[in-house]
Amino acid sequence: MQALYGQLVVGLINGSFYALLSLGLAVIFGMLNIINFAHGAFYMMGAFAAYFLLNWAGLGYWWALVLAPLMVGAVGVLVERTMLQWLTGLDHLYGLLLTFGLALVIQGVFQNEFGSSGLPYAIPAELRGAQNLGFMFLPNYRAWVIVFSLVVCLATWFVIERTKLGAYLRAATERPELVRAFGIDVPRMITLTYGFGVALAALAGVLAAPINQVRPLMGADFIIVVFAVVVIGGMGSIMGSIVTGFALGLIEGLTKYFYPEASSTVVFVIMAIVLLVKPNGLFGRTA
Amino acid sequence: MQSRTITALLAAVAATALTVGSAAAQDNKTVRIGNLSDQSGLYADLGGPGSTLAAQMAIEDSGLLAKGWKIDVIAGDHQNKPDVGTNIARQWYDVDKVDVIVDTPNSGVALAVNQVTREKNKAFLNSGAATSDLSGKACSPNTVHWTYDTWMLAHGTGEAVVKSGGDSWFFLTADYAFGHALERDTTEVVKANKGTVTGAVRHPLNTADFSSFLLQAQSSKAKIIGLANAGGDTTNSIKQASEFGITAGGQKLAALLLFLPDVHALGLQVAQGLTFTETFYWDLNDQTRAFSKRFSERMKNKMMPSMVHAGVYSAVLHYLKAMETFGGNPGDGAKVVAKMKEMPTDDALFGKGTIRADGRKLHPAYLFEVKKPAESKGPWDYYKLVATIPADKAFRPTAEGGCPLVK
């Protein structure tokens, strides 16, 4: 039983990564209608940005938490301005293909430069050590990851669903011409939204750097699962991506306990079942 | 007079025959080597592009190019999928005129390529895969298993750990041919030394998060957590084990298979104190240092060679030596491999050795310990030599392998 509680906590930690990443995807899909396959690559770039900041500029983890998302977010803005904006109004497939190709190029470049086995990134001194919860040993850093990503997720949800800025954003995706008539710069809003989604991915990358090796393929291994999370939650649903992110982390943790061999496929089994029962996902709006 | 004419005629015929003979051999002085490896995934740094370079260096060092041979090496990515590996092997053998496949980490892929190579009567010089079945029940007259295997790892590291008091084990096993073989071989060693195995958890290949598995290992209360995995899986398990306080809690990790790039990726802070077995390290002696320096200068990221790279170099060099004794490429894999087994091996990296009838290459193995950060004098100075296991003790005795070739 003790081990089971441990698995639940660990599941929650993985769930927080799923939630952060799928949240970014949901924001981008909701606002730009683009299935952002480059999300995993941006997540990886976030981790590498943290590594560069530490080793080339001497700036530690806390700086990376702020600067890495800004840097990678800026790359996102550039990508949106130079490539994605030309796809407005076209079928989803074009965005998917473009971002998928982009992901392959980015990963290839990093792999060519840094090899595949990864680079070390240490846990910041303030968060080393662990708490003995009685049933398990919880590293402080992991506890921090759960709390921090939960706060970021809820803040994002709040901004989009409950503030004036969020209302503009949602309006701009529904009726761009009308919003433009009110004197609001819709293209800029869309660009910044993409940059924000990308920055969320980079933030998750910084959080992951001390746990995993900083590897060029760290995003590629992750992204398919995250897409499954988004599909289960309902494409574009903000709350859906947060809730399913955490829930699937938990389910995966339980699978690792009861039947570890299936832990890499359980998410897809759930996806298949959900799509059969609710084709728009658990939180998706009916078309 | 007449006899002189006959002699001249005979001489002319002989000369013509000789010319024709050598012309035929000359046509055949072409060898194509295929480096079938993981070029982009979790084993790419220990094999991958480095193995292509190692094969290239062996070609250059063989001296055959100067003697008019045409030898080249091509590379393919098996992506750790046996079906992809098999398809590339077939394409190479049937269409691209490849004579010999080298490297091929990932035991699942290696066992598949082993089969194809035998069907096509080519040669397979495996350096990267670990499963001891390659020279056991799956042995083939076309295959040489060069660098290391699971039996060697189990006996080298496993035995050292059990004898130093680690008598109860829990395994973290990569869920495919290699992990299963390593777990099986190590379990035998643990039990033979009166230890116990309390359990095992099988994780999918290429797992990023090991915390759940580590928690299970932790609750097993075993003294030793045996890592029957490799590459990125091993580095992630080691890193996360230190994070979850596993080693601080009194349990010890036994990394059954650890390569130089893994230690480099982990950093000494995390990797220090790990004990493991390898058959090559760049800083063993003057010859290995000289080779490694040349290798590192030509590698894009300036890395030192892993034991897999060293094995590819040594295997290709010996293959080409055997090829040279034929005076040309006989186009018969089994024949070349039989010749390789006849000739003693001798190279700068592994020293003198032999290849057994079951295809097992024999050389010493070394028990290493990872240095503490303070002990390391510079980049890539990572290992301390703990013990040398002589060639006749390092690998499984022929009789125990169940290889049909030697029955």
Selected residue of A13, A117, A142, A255 to mutate for chain B interface (largest B Cβ count, 10 A)? A117
Cα atoms in the Cβ-side hemisphere of radius 13 Å centred on B354: 9
A180-205 pLDDT, tens digit each: 888 888 889 889 999 999 999 999 99
Ranges assigned E (strand) in A166-238: none
3-state secondary structure at position B350: coil
Cβ-proximal residues to A36 (8 Å cutoff; 6+ apart), any chain: A24, A25, A28, A29, A95, A99, A194, A197, A198
What span, in angstroms and rounded, lies between the C-alpha atoms of B168 and A8?
A: 27
Given a cut of 60, whether residue B146 has pLDDT beyond it is yes
Given a cut of 50, whether residue B66 has pLDDT beyond it is yes
Closest Cβ–Cβ partner in B48, B212, B270 for A256: B212
Confidence of residue B4 (pLDDT cuts 50, 70, 90): low
Cβ-proximal residues to A96 (8 Å cutoff; 6+ apart), any chain: A34, A35, A37
Phi/psi at B378 (nearest 5 deg)?
180, -170
Beta bridge partners of residue A132, listed in sequence order? A137
What span, in angstroms and rounded, lies between the C-alpha atoms of B146 and B308?
A: 9
- In this structure, the strands spanning B196-203 and B224-228 are unpaired
- Choose the weakest-confidence range: A31-40, B6-15, B64-73, B251-260: B6-15
What span, in angstroms and rounded, lies between the C-alpha atoms of B227 and B205?
A: 13
A42 touches chain B (CB under 8 A): no
Burial grade of B222 (CB within 10 A; 0-12, 13-18, 19 or more) = buried
Cβ-proximal residues to B119 (8 Å cutoff; 6+ apart), any chain: none
CB contact under 8 A, B219 and A130: no
3-state secondary structure at position B117: helix
Q: Which residues of chain A have pLDDT under 50?
A: 287
CB contact under 8 A, B301 and A115: yes
B97-144 pLDDT, tens digit each: 999 999 999 999 999 999 999 999 999 999 999 999 999 999 999 999
What span, in angstroms and rounded, lies between the C-alpha atoms of B54 and B292?
A: 10
Given a cut of 90, whether residue B36 has pLDDT beyond it is yes
Given a cut of 70, whether residue B161 has pLDDT beyond it is yes
Cβ-proximal residues to B371 (8 Å cutoff; 6+ apart), any chain: B268, B272, B381, B382, B383, B384
pLDDT of residue A184: 87
3-state secondary structure at position B227: strand
Q: Which residue of A has its CA nearest to B237?
A: A212
pLDDT of residue A7: 82
- In this structure, the strands spanning B30-37 and A137-139 are unpaired
The amino acid present at B370, given as its one-letter code, is V
CB contact under 8 A, A117 and B44: yes
pLDDT of residue B76: 96
Given a cut of 80, whether residue B26 has pLDDT beyond it is no
- Choose the weakest-confidence range: A26-40, B48-62, B100-114, B278-292: A26-40
**Closest-CA distance of chain A to residue B97, Å:** 29
What span, in angstroms and rounded, lies between the C-alpha atoms of B342 and B331?
A: 18
pLDDT of residue B14: 53
Complete DSSP assignment for A15-80: HHHHHHHHHHHHHHHHHH----TTHHHHHHHHHHHHHHHHHHS---HHHHHHHHHHHHHHHHHHHH
What span, in angstroms and rounded, lies between the C-alpha atoms of B30 and B331?
A: 10
Confidence of residue B21 (pLDDT cuts 50, 70, 90): very low
**Closest-CA distance of chain A to residue B268, Å:** 10
Burial grade of B16 (CB within 10 A; 0-12, 13-18, 19 or more) = exposed
Complete DSSP assignment for B352-403: EEEE-TTSBEE--EEEEEEPPGGG--STT--EEEEEEE-HHHHS--HHHHT-
Cβ-proximal residues to B395 (8 Å cutoff; 6+ apart), any chain: B149, B151, B152, B360, B362, B365
Cα three-residue angle A151-A168-A93, rounded to 5 degrees: 85
Instruction: Work out the average pLDDT over B228-247.
Output: 89
Given a cut of 50, whether residue B18 has pLDDT beyond it is no
Q: Which of B259, B257, B228, B253 is nearest to B238 (CA)?
A: B253
Instruction: From chain A, pick out residues whose CB is under 8 angstroms from the CB of B206.
Output: 221
What span, in angstroms and rounded, lies between the C-alpha atoms of B287 and B322?
A: 22
Query: What is residue A88's DSSP assignment?
Result: T
What span, in angstroms and rounded, lies between the C-alpha atoms of B255 and B222?
A: 15
Q: Which residue of B has its CA nearest to A214?
A: B265
Closest Cβ–Cβ partner in B45, B209, B270 for A116: B45
B313-366 pLDDT, tens digit each: 999 999 999 999 999 999 999 999 999 999 999 999 999 999 999 999 999 999
Cβ-proximal residues to A112 (8 Å cutoff; 6+ apart), any chain: B300
- In this structure, the strands spanning B252-255 and B224-228 are parallel
Would you say how long chain B is, in residues?
A: 407
Burial grade of A147 (CB within 10 A; 0-12, 13-18, 19 or more) = exposed
Query: What is the ipTM for the molecules in this complex?
Result: 0.79
CB contact under 8 A, A137 and B211: no
pLDDT of residue A287: 46
Confidence of residue B8 (pLDDT cuts 50, 70, 90): low
A211 touches chain B (CB under 8 A): yes
**Closest-CA distance of chain B to residue A139, Å:** 6
CB contact under 8 A, A263 and B45: no
What span, in angstroms and rounded, lies between the C-alpha atoms of B265 and B262?
A: 5
pLDDT of residue B1: 45
What span, in angstroms and rounded, lies between the C-alpha atoms of A190 and B242?
A: 43
Which one is predicted more confidently, B407 or B180?
Answer: B180
Q: Which of A238, A233, A240 is nearest to A275 (CA)?
A: A233
3-state secondary structure at position B255: strand
A111 touches chain B (CB under 8 A): yes
A141 touches chain B (CB under 8 A): yes
Crossing angle of helices A140-162 and A2-32, in 10° steps, is 30
Instruction: From chain B, pick out residues whose CB is under 8 angstroms from the CB of A13.
Output: 211
Number of CB pairs, chain A paired with chain B, less than 8 A apart: 116
CB contact under 8 A, A3 and B265: no
Instruction: From chain B, pick out residues whose CB is under 8 angstroms from the CB of A3.
Output: 215-216, 219
Q: Which residue of A has its CA nearest to B259?
A: A117
CB contact under 8 A, A263 and B204: yes
Structure tokens, A260: 């570890």
| A62 in Cβ contact with A124 (< 8 Å) | yes
CB contact under 8 A, B41 and A116: yes
What span, in angstroms and rounded, lies between the C-alpha atoms of B275 and B273?
A: 6
CB contact under 8 A, B212 and A116: no
The amino acid present at A192, given as its one-letter code, is L
CB contact under 8 A, B232 and A116: yes
C-beta neighbour count of B144 within 10 angstroms: 27
Instruction: From chain A, pick out residues whose CB is under 8 angstroms from the CB of B209.
Output: 10, 14, 211-212
Burial grade of B9 (CB within 10 A; 0-12, 13-18, 19 or more) = exposed
Selected residue of A116, A144, A258, A268 to mutate for chain B interface (largest B Cβ count, 10 A)? A116
CB contact under 8 A, A139 and B202: no
